[in-house]
Amino acid sequence: MTVLGIDPGLERVGYGVVRREGSRIVAVDFGLVRTVPGPVPSRLAVIFEAVEKLLEGHAVSLMACERLFFGKNQTTGIDVAKAAGVIQLAAAHRGLEVVELSPAEVKLAVVGQGAADKRQVQYMVTRLLGLPEAPRPDDVADALAVGIAAALKGSKPR
């Protein structure tokens, strides 16, 4: 089972491809898609194409996306949701299921505690994947955590 974990955003999209091999989880690929300031539709196109390339390059069996909640900044929230929309469209085009996991679900699955802090999540992501150092920036670690959580759950589609 290979999962593409996604931490969505308009400026930065963290991604992490992980494969479950029995009880082990292996990091296949991870990184960040960045977009430069400019019209939102063009930035969405950059994100869509980057995700399409990731799905072409890896035999992904599930996309796992961090579930969105809106805070005080509505405009940012709307832009992040637009980005999540085009990312999930890329999954649909390949017939891929998408699961959305809340931050608490991800922490529970990765650290064993829904209220774990960022450092604990980073530490466990690094350890579980046997990486030499913590993946940076946070968006990448978060995307890997979402991917790991979905791979551990073998989760249900939304």
The binding site for a second copy (CB under 8 A) comprises: 39-42, 44-45, 48, 68-70, 74, 77-78, 81-86, 88-89, 91-93, 96-98, 157-158
Residue with tokens 């809106």: 70
**3-state secondary structure at position 34:** strand
Min. distance of Cβ 49 from a second copy in angstroms? 10
Query: Shortest distance, CB of residue 3 to a second copy, whole angstroms?
Result: 15
- Burial code of 55-70, b = ≥16 C-beta within 10 A, e = fewer? beeeebebbbbbbeee
Residue number, 69 or 133, with CB nearest to a second copy:
69
Question: Which lies closer to a second copy via its Cβ, residue 39 or residue 132?
Answer: 39
Query: Smaller CB distance to a second copy: residue 130 or 157?
Result: 157
Residue 51: CB minimum distance to a second copy, A: 11
Rounded Cα–Cα distance for residues 102 and 69 (Å): 9
- Residues marked as catalytic: 7, 66, 139
Contact 109/147 with Cβ under 8 angstroms?
A: no
Strands of the sheet with 98-101, listed across from one edge: 24-34, 12-21, 2-7, 62-66, 98-101
